[in-house]
A and B are shown apart, each in its own frame.
Chain A
Amino acid sequence: MKSPEIIADAQETKGDFRYALNYSLDAGQGLSHATLDYISDAKGEEPWIRRWRHEALDIFLQKTMPWEWAPAVLRDLRFEDFHYYLAQGTESRQSWEEVSPEVKRTFERLGIPEQEQKFLAGVEAQFDSEAAYARIQERLQAQGVIFVSSSEGLARYPEIFRPHFGQIVPVGDNKFSALNSAVFSGGSFIYVPPGLKVSQPLQAYFRINAENFGQFERTLIVVGEGAEVSYMEGCTAPSSSKAMLHSAVVELVVLPHAKLQYISVQNWSRNVFNLVTKRGVAHEGAEIRWIDCNIGSKLTMKYPCILLQGERARGEVLSIAVAREGQWQDTGAKMIHLGRHTSSQIISKSISLGSGIASARNFVDIRPADGQCQNHTQCDALLLNARSCSATFPTLRIHGHRNCVQHEASVSKISEEQLFYLQQRGIPHAQALSLSVNGFVNELLREFPMEYGVELKRLIELEVEGAVG
């Protein structure tokens, strides 16, 4: 067998390489009802899923783009350019040895099998449209934990999957949730049985290899009463002059007194439109923590949402965004307080370099009268150049009384005096800048698992030093 040939390789980030592949499954360029039939046929789906796809496409076509508020660069997105489904097969493997050599090499270069051995309880690795590999520790499997691709989840565990599917993020929630519902493929399905505390994290890795391609994974996580789990996702793509689209839907169901930590490290190449809808519902006494880092992509529009449905549910979104030359990170969090005594916290830090734009759209909605709900929101922005830009668009909607909301926002610049001080100790200018930037995000970086925190710190350093160096 011929060893895989790399056709693009740059040193800037370790994810920037590509293999030339033959895809046995290709829905072709552009989007129509025929595209959906192709996907359904390839996957051998049940009729209800096929119907769901077609209805979703109709909704997608009716919905308008959010031009009134969306970043202007969204106008560069051309839906007709993309391939909506590309795969070498539809079945994921449970052993790396059975994964095709190019795909296996890809994930090896990204360090996934190594991380799996070191600290993960389970891994799913998606390559373009389909999961290539999915495996969890046998011990957890025996205890009833499910971690499979969402296609497999729908086929094998409909009794758990179907009642939640599309319930937290309805098809018509927005144009991109409708798009995802029409062409979804891949993503994770996780179920943790009641009372079980999974100590090591589960991880999914999403890789785009093909050019002019759209990835539309769909993830559902159901955490049983009193159970606990941590899920991490990472993603990369090779850089290219051609656009790529990533439009995921993530639904989380966290049952009473359960805890879910969802960690996301987004490092797409700068040709990716990253337009995702992520939402979780926290039942009584449950907790959802969303820890999010956005470094890559051309445009990211991502606003993780937590519905605090049950009494005393807790929600937290911690996020870091880095916007470099030509990038727009439009991020934020939504906290919807439905239950009494619910509490939430949003902490976001953004760094803008060069012409990069970081905007924060936070939304807090407290519904119960006499709810004694609490929210604390803090947005800090750091601008590195005169051309860098940052904006905050807070919306606070507080009904009733005896609810408590705090909102703080700050914009700062690294001062010449700080840089002079660091340089006076012999530290070169670019490194002085990255030390100051690291200082700005350090506290939040500590919230990431150590293995990720170190990598993120290095990535942020690369971005900052690259931007000025």
Chain B
Amino acid sequence: MDSGLRIRGLSLQVEEKIVLRDFSLEVPGGEMHALLGPNGAGKSSLSKAIAGHPDYRILQGDISFDGNPLCGQSPDHIARMGIFLAFQNPVEIEGLSVANFLRAAIQARQGPGERFSATEFYAHLYRCLDALSLERAFSARSLNVGFSGGEKKRCELLQLLLLRPRFALLDEIDSGLDADATKMMAHSLDELRKESGMGGLIITHHPSLLQYLRPDRLHILLNGRIVRSGHEELIEHIEHSGYSSFASP
């Protein structure tokens, strides 16, 4: 069965640069994988390409989710297929409150004739805020404007909890968080995965995050390609010898 994310022979260009070459990866439905690699290996480019960012040109290969091709689809369509990208650097939008933004996102997922209930929406929003130890007033603030690094990450997670995607691309979600906050985040993600069977791809250059998130499988990305796949043993390897030890001679 074709469930999950499948990338085959992908070559990716952004501006004038080729960032991925003949890249392949499969994350079967419901599994959580991790993609590790040094800065500049092409990890964030991959997540933007999956999400359909218009600046990322797919030269070769294809990306599909649950058997449906993603290439050529608009970012909002890909999002509504159930793919969520937690941004490394979320943008600020002055004047658009977190609550109104989330409301628009929920409404965009409703079918024709489906009615939006403000009461249910706010009840759900408040549950998610509570789960992340965020004040209710947080949802009245302008989206990401004046947020600390930690608040931005929690805001990404808030969106994820509320929108309940089928597949989460988690791009450096622990940057700016202390150990307690990282643990709390890992806990929320675990809960969501148990409830909804969400799969995902953790993208990080920083393997210590994985002790909390415990992915099913790990992949090492170097120079636009996966050079090794495996399990937890890879973490130790990176911590001892660094990414360069995976480079082919």
Give the interface of A toward B (CB within 8 A): 415-418, 420-429, 431-432, 435-436, 438-443
A283 to B75: give the CA distance in the assembly, Å.
57
Q: At the interface, yes or no: B123 with Cβ under 8 Å from chain A?
A: no
From B91-99, B173-181, B186-194, B205-213, the one touching the partner chain is B91-99
A441 to B54: give the CA distance in the assembly, Å.
27
**Which residues between 25 and 82 of chain B lie within 8 Å of chain A, taking CB atoms?**
51, 53-55, 74-76, 78-80
A422 to B79: give the CA distance in the assembly, Å.
10
Chain B min CB distance to A461 (Å): 11
Q: At the interface, yes or no: B105 with Cβ under 8 Å from chain A?
A: yes
Contact between A423 and B91 (Cβ–Cβ < 8 Å)? no
> B101 — which chain A residues lie within 8 A by C-beta?
422, 425, 435
Contact of A429 among B76, B91, B94, B95 (CB under 8 A): B76
Contact between A426 and B95 (Cβ–Cβ < 8 Å)? no
> A425 — which chain B residues lie within 8 A by C-beta?
76, 79, 84, 101-102, 104-105, 108, 159, 163
Counting chain A CB atoms within 10 Å of each CB, which of B51, B104, B109, B143 scores highest? B104
A346 to B22: give the CA distance in the assembly, Å.
57
Contact between B54 and A420 (Cβ–Cβ < 8 Å)? yes
Contact between A426 and B142 (Cβ–Cβ < 8 Å)? no
> B91 — which chain A residues lie within 8 A by C-beta?
415, 417-418, 421
Contact between B75 and A420 (Cβ–Cβ < 8 Å)? yes
Contact between A431 and B93 (Cβ–Cβ < 8 Å)? no
24 contacts between A and B (CB under 8 A): A416-B54, A417-B91, A418-B93, A420-B75, A421-B91, A421-B93, A422-B93, A422-B101, A423-B76, A424-B75, A424-B79, A424-B84, A424-B85, A425-B76, A425-B79, A426-B79, A426-B80, A428-B74, A431-B104, A431-B108, A439-B94, A439-B143, A440-B94, A440-B95
Chain B min CB distance to A419 (Å): 8
Counting chain B CB atoms within 10 Å of each CB, which of A424, A427, A429 scores highest? A424
Given that A421-B90, A429-B76, A431-B104 are contacting pairs, would A443 and B95 also be in contact in the complex, using a CB cutoff of 8 Å?
Answer: yes
User: Could you give, for residues 137-180 of chain B, a 1 whenever the CB lies within 8 Å of some chain A CB and a 0 otherwise?
Assistant: 00000110000000000000001000100000000000000000
A464 to B101: give the CA distance in the assembly, Å.
17
Contact between A427 and B108 (Cβ–Cβ < 8 Å)? yes
Contact between A416 and B96 (Cβ–Cβ < 8 Å)? no
Contact between A423 and B104 (Cβ–Cβ < 8 Å)? no
Closest to A425 in B: B105
> A417 — which chain B residues lie within 8 A by C-beta?
91
A435 to B101: give the CA distance in the assembly, Å.
8
Chain B min CB distance to A418 (Å): 5
A151 to B75: give the CA distance in the assembly, Å.
59
Contact between A428 and B95 (Cβ–Cβ < 8 Å)? no
> B53 — which chain A residues lie within 8 A by C-beta?
420
A212 to B100: give the CA distance in the assembly, Å.
43
A426 to B74: give the CA distance in the assembly, Å.
10
Closest to A439 in B: B95
> A423 — which chain B residues lie within 8 A by C-beta?
74-76, 79
Contact between A428 and B76 (Cβ–Cβ < 8 Å)? yes
> B143 — which chain A residues lie within 8 A by C-beta?
439
A418 to B90: give the CA distance in the assembly, Å.
9
> B159 — which chain A residues lie within 8 A by C-beta?
425
> A441 — which chain B residues lie within 8 A by C-beta?
95
> B109 — which chain A residues lie within 8 A by C-beta?
426
Q: At the interface, yes or no: B246 with Cβ under 8 Å from chain A?
A: no
**Shortest Cβ-Cβ A-B pairs, 5 listed:** A439-B95, A439-B96, A442-B95, A423-B75, A425-B105
Q: At the interface, yes or no: B243 with Cβ under 8 Å from chain A?
A: no
A416 to B75: give the CA distance in the assembly, Å.
12
Closest to A414 in B: B93
> B93 — which chain A residues lie within 8 A by C-beta?
418, 421-422, 435-436, 439
> B121 — which chain A residues lie within 8 A by C-beta?
none
Contact between A424 and B51 (Cβ–Cβ < 8 Å)? yes
Given that A420-B53, A420-B54, A435-B104 are contacting pairs, would A426 and B163 also be in contact in the complex, using a CB cutoff of 8 Å?
Answer: yes
Closest to B48 in A: A420
A351 to B51: give the CA distance in the assembly, Å.
29
Q: At the interface, yes or no: B126 with Cβ under 8 Å from chain A?
A: no
Closest to B78 in A: A424
Given that A420-B75, A424-B75, A431-B108 are contacting pairs, would A442 and B55 also be in contact in the complex, using a CB cutoff of 8 Å?
Answer: no
Chain A min CB distance to B41 (Å): 22
> A435 — which chain B residues lie within 8 A by C-beta?
93, 96, 100-101, 104
A436 to B145: give the CA distance in the assembly, Å.
13
